[in-house]
Structure 1
Amino acid sequence: MARKSLVGLVADELLDRIVAGEFPPGTVVPGELELSAKHEVSRMTVREAMKTLEAQRILSVERGRGTFVNPLSRWESLEAVLRAASEGKNDGAVAVQLIELRRMLETGACELAASRVSPEDIEQLRAQVSAMQDAYDSNDVTAFVKADLAFHDVILHASGNVFVAVLFEPLHRVLETRRTQTSQIPDIQKHAIAHHRNILEALEARDTRRARLAMDAHMQQTLDDLRSYVLDA
């Protein structure tokens, strides 16, 4: 067990270096001898750690050439992808793809929620929109992000589909980091408040089509704001 734990530690430390941009996609990672010296472990431990990352498609071995870092799109470890999304350097592409994922799942969740939302859910949603407005007025980004995330969490659970909330749980840390970055911009906060109000009104009306369209419009505005205020800035 101790050896396996050590292998995992070395694999994590190498992944940290990849995520930090020390070894961008397409570059060769150091050889076993260099890594064993750096981490003060045996070459066998390094070899097993490399095999772990290779199994997750983070690394690929080309005989006679070395071990290369794969593009993020080829990685097959959700945990590794989430680490890259929250800590990595490839912010633009990852941020866009995260919104695309949210758009696919949250529009459907909002449609379901419109037919299943409870009066208590509506009260919680209304309270979160009010909290977002208060946070905007007082320039409290932390409070704004907290209320924003809570609003969406209520909808995910109100959908009544047990898989939806479970699927989103691992994304929470990434979403919190991203929202904190983008919510520094007052115009993005204003747009978000307006769209959250539209979503709330659609859910209050129990209008499934309107709820889906309102959430889709919110996701589109989020993408437009990301491109206008962050990626093209």
Structure 2
Amino acid sequence: MARKSLVGVVADELLDRIIDGEFPPGSTVPGEHELSARHEVSRMTVREAMKTLQAQRILSVERGRGTFVNPLSRWASLEAVLRAAAEGKNDADASIQLIELRRMLETGACELAARRIAEEDITALFNYVSAMKAANSINDVAAFVEADLAFHDVILRASGNVFVSVLFEPLHRVLEKRRTETSAVPQIQEHAIGHHQNIAEALRSRDSVRSREAMDAHMQQTLDDLKQLVLEAK
């Protein structure tokens, strides 16, 4: 793996501090002198690191006032947004928006998969549902999450649309973290098992409308569970 440049190191460490909440949206970040002393690099290196984050719309410069942190909704770097979603402290909005994104993409993928899915993939779906039930019976959250993610991966691939799989690939780490949080709640596991069973049966019927509706119902239940059983409990 190529060694990261000093500019990249400084930019990454400043981004980490932003994601950690040290510099919330609307706040100013330290100046070049302070950052160069902290990182023991030249002010030119710091300036280039700041330009990197400005290009990603994470930071914005207001002449005469300073450099400010933009809200997450303005960031233009998918990698940075995913890091914020995975590691950020105040991530309720990111959690909800992630489900909204999944709903838009996965309902369509499920509709496409109904017409294209192979028999062996349908068998795999039911096997993953059985694995989720087995994991639920012994409260093995890691095994439950593994089967859950694998179930959805089958559908994404079965959609036959290469862009769907490519779009979801960078989300995997965030999805795994989110599933681990929500699946720790037994009631959420039970809801998920029922909906995954419905989705598998809909896909076996080859009914594209039924399949889309089954996935949409699952996404709605996921959103409701997140709001009522996770976010409200914090």
Settle same-fold status: TM greater than 0.5.
yes
Amino acid at match of 1:188: I
Secondary structure of 1:26 counterpart: coil
Partner of 2:60: 60
Unaligned 5+ runs, structure 1: none
- Equivalent position SS for 1:206: coil
Name the % identity.
78
1:71 equivalent to 2:71? Answer: yes
Residue ranges of structure 2 left out of the alignment (5+ in a row): none
Normalising by the residue count of structure 2, what TM-score does the alignment of the two structures yield? 0.97
Q: Deviations over 1:26-73 (max 9, x none)?
A: 110011111001111001100000000001000000111110000000
For 1:20 and 1:123, locate their aligned partners in 2 and report how far apart those are by CA, in whole Å.
43
Whether the 8 Å CA contact 1:3–1:45 is kept in 2: the answer is no
Q: Does 1:123 align with 2:123?
A: yes
Q: How big is the shift at 1:90?
A: 2.4
Report the CA distance between 1:89 and its aligned residue: 1.5
CA distance in 2, matches of 1:91, 1:216: 23
Q: Is the 8 A contact 1:182 1:230 kept in 2?
A: yes
Does the 8 Å CA contact 1:8/1:49 hold for their aligned counterparts? yes
Q: Which position in structure 1 is the counterpart of 2:151?
A: 151
Q: Which residue of 2 aligns with 1:192?
A: 192
How far, CA to CA, are the matches of 1:3 and 1:88 in structure 2? 26
Q: 2 CA distance for matches of 1:107 and 1:3?
A: 40
Moved over 6 A (4+): none
1:232 to partner: Cα distance: 1.3
SS in 2 for 1:90: coil
The secondary structure found in structure 2 opposite 1:28 is coil
SS in 1 for 2:68: strand
Map 1:86-105 onto structure 2 (within 5 A): 86-105=86-105
**Aligned-pair RMSD on alpha carbons?**
1.2
Kindly indicate whether the alpha-carbon contact (under 8 Å) linking 1:149 and 1:176 is maintained by their aligned counterparts in 2: yes
Give me the whole-angstrom Cα distance separating, in 1, the residues matched to 2:31 and 2:230.
37
Q: In the TM superposition, what is the alpha-carbon distance from 1:5 to its structure 2 partner? A: 1.1
Distance 2:91 2:69 in 1: 17
Query: 1:60 is paired with a residue of what secondary structure?
Result: strand
Secondary structure at the aligned position of 1:16 is classed as: helix
Residue in 2 aligned with 1:40? 40
- Quote the residue 2:163 is aligned against: 163
Residues 14-29 of structure 1 aligned to structure 2 (within 5 Å): 14-29=14-29
Deviation of the 1:187 alpha carbon:
0.2
SS in 1 for 2:24: coil
SS in 2 for 1:131: helix
Separation of aligned partners in 2, 1:210 and 1:18: 43
1-side partners of 2:130 and 2:93: how far apart?
Answer: 32
Q: Match of 2:82? A: 82
Aligned twin of 1:137: 137
Q: Secondary structure at the match of 2:5?
A: helix
TM-score by length of 1: 0.98
Rounded to whole Å, the distance in 2 between the matches of 1:47 and 1:4 is: 17
Aligned length: 232
Distance 1:149 1:168 in 2: 11
CA distance in 1, matches of 2:121, 2:38: 53
